[in-house]
Amino acid sequence: MFEGQPKSLYALALANTGERFGYYTMIAVFALFLRGNFGLDPGAAGAIYSTFLGLVYFLPLVGGIMADKFGYGKMVTTGIMIMFIGYLCLAIPLGTGTVAFSSMLAALLLISLGTGLFKGNLQVMVGNLYDAPGMESKRDSGFSIFYMAINIGALFAPTAAVKIHDWAVTSLHMDPNAAYHLAFAVACVSLILSIAIYYTFRPGFKHLEGNSKKKDEKSGAATEAEEISPAETKERIIALCLVFAVVIFFWMAFHQNGLTLTYFADEFVQPTAEGAQSMVFDVINLFMVIVIVYAGFAFFGAKTGKTKGISALVILGALAVIAYKYSAVEGSVSVSAPIFQQFNPFYVVALTPVSMAIFGALARKGKEPTAPRKIAYGMLIAGCGFLVMLLASMGLNTPDAQKAAAEGAKTFASPNWLIGTYLVLTFGELLLSLWVYHSYQRLLLRSTRAQ
C-alpha cells in the first residue's frame, strides 16, 4: 500500500491533515456552540449547520472553475487564507448579540468558500502525481492513503476541541459558551501548520500547481491527450449525477454526527465512564490500536526477518502503552458529547487496510461486489446504523422531559450504543464512500487530461 508512492503524496496529505484537523475541531463543537452561545433551538441550529455543510460541498465547483483560470496552487493558497480569516472571526469572542451572530454567519461563508477553493484542487494535484509513467497502478492506494490522512486529522480534532474548551473553563475561568471560541482558534493554528507544510515541500510538486491548459500554453508544445467526445463527456456527467443522486442520502445520514448524534450524546448518553469503558475515550489508546493494526499487516506481509522484528517491537510497544494507560485509570472520567466524533475517523483509519485486504482477496477470486452493489450495501448498512440508534433511544425521556427532569429522574443510554452506531456507519462508508471517491477522481483526471 505504501510502497512505491511518490514522496510528494505525503507532503500534500500532511497539508490536508492540518486543514482537516482545524475543520473537524470546529465541527465537533459547532452545533453545541450555536445552542449555548446564541440560545438557538435545535431546529434553528440545525438549519445553520446544514446550510454551512451544503456550501462546503457545493463551493468546490466554484473552486474548480477558478482553478481552470488561475491554476490549482493559487487556489489552494487563497483557500487557506480565506479559511483562516473565517476561523479567526469565529475565534474572537464578540458575545451573543447581533454583531456576534452576523460575524458568525460571515465566518461560515468564508470557511465554506475557502474550503471550496482548497479541498478539491489539492486532491487534483494529488491525482496528477500519478500521471507519470508507471504510476497509474498506484493511484487507488495513493488516494486511500490521502483519505486516511484526512481521518487522522479528524481523529485528534474532537479531543483538541474538548481539551481546549475545558482548559479555558477551569484555568482561565471563562464562561462555558465563550470557551468555544478557543476551540475555533485551534483551527487557525492548524491552518498555519498546513500552509507551512505545503510551502516547505512545495518544490517537489510545484510543477503540478498550474492547470493543464496553462501548462500547455507555457510550454508552447503540442501535447497528446486522450480526446473525449461530447457524447462521452455527457454520458460520464450523467453517470456521475446519478451516483450523486444516490449517495446524497448517505451523506445526509452520515453528517448527523455533528448534529443529532451530538445532541443525543449531549443529552442522553451517560456523562461519565469508568474502568475499561473509559479507555475508549482517550485518543492515545485509539491511536495505539491503529498502530497495532498497521504493524500487524507489516508483520504478516514482511519479506525479511528484520522487518518482522521491527513490526513485532512496534506492536509490543503499543500494547505496553495501552497497558500503562489502563493501570493509571482511577475513578470515573467525564464524557463530553463532541468526543464521540473521534470514533468514525478511528474506525476508518483502522479498518481501511482490512477492507482493502478483503476486497483484494475477493477480486483475485473474481467475487468482488460490483460498484452498484457496494453502493447498495453501503446504504443498507448506514440504515442499520440508525436502527441501532432507534433501539438506543427506546425508553428514554423526550428531549423536553429530559431537560425538565430532576437529576435522579433523567434517563441515559450506554455510550456503547453510540460507539456501535459509528462502527456500523463506518462499514457503510468504507463500502460506498471510498469507491465513489476513487471513481470521481478517475473521471475528473481523465477529463482534465482531455482538455
pLDDT in tens, 178-206: 888 988 998 999 999 999 999 999 988 88
Whether 21 and 156 have beta carbons less than 8 Å apart is answered as: yes
* Residue 373, pLDDT score: 81
* Buried/exposed 184-204: b ≥16 CB within 10 Å, e otherwise: bbbbbbbbebbbebbeebbeb
Distance CA 136, CA 228 (A): 19
Residue type, 109: L
Cell numbers given for 282: 482517550
| Per-residue pLDDT, 219 | 45
- Mean pLDDT value across residues 259-275: 94
3-state class percentages of the chain: helix first, strand second, coil last, to nearest 5: 80, 0, 20
Query: Is 340 a residue whose pLDDT tops 70?
Result: yes
- Region 3-18: mean pLDDT is 87
* Residue of 53, 156, 37 whose CA lies nearest to 90: 37
Q: Do the Cβ atoms of 449 and 226 come closer than 8 Å?
A: yes
Contact 147, 14 (CB under 8 A): no
Helix axes 98-128, 72-91, angle to 10 degrees: 150
* CA 202 – CA 217 distance, rounded (Å): 22
Mean pLDDT computed over 339-348: 94
- Residue 449: pLDDT above 50? no
Question: What's the average model confidence in pLDDT over 146-164?
Answer: 90
Phi/psi-derived region of residue 39, left when phi > 0, alpha when psi is between -120 and 50, beta in every other case? left
C-alpha cell at 49: 449547520
Q: In which residue are the cell numbers 443522486 written?
A: 245
- Burial class from Cβ neighbours inside 10 Å (0-12, 13-18, 19+) for residue 124 reads buried
Query: What was the pLDDT predicted at 224?
Result: 47
Answer whether residue 435 shows pLDDT above 70.
no
pLDDT of residue 212: 54
| Domain parsing of the chain, residue ranges | 6-221, 228-271+337-451, 273-334
Judge whether 117 and 82 are in contact, CB under 8 Å: yes
- CA 197 to CA 304: how far, in whole Å? 33
pLDDT above 70 coverage of the chain, percent: 91
Q: How confident is the model at residue 379 (pLDDT cuts 50, 70, 90)?
A: confident
User: Which pLDDT score, from 0 to 100, does residue 4 have?
Assistant: 72
Average the pLDDT over 416-445 and give the result: 76
Section 99-114 average pLDDT: 95
Q: pLDDT tens, 53-102?
A: 999 989 998 998 999 899 999 999 999 999 999 999 999 989 889 999 99
332-334 vs 272-274, strand pairing mode: antiparallel
Of 261, 255, 250, 294, the residue nearest 437 (C-alpha): 250
Look at the domain 6-221 and name its fold: Growth Hormone; Chain: A; (1.20.1250)
Mean pLDDT over residues 216-240, rounded? Answer: 62
pLDDT exceeds cutoff 70 at 221? no
448 grid coordinates: 482534465
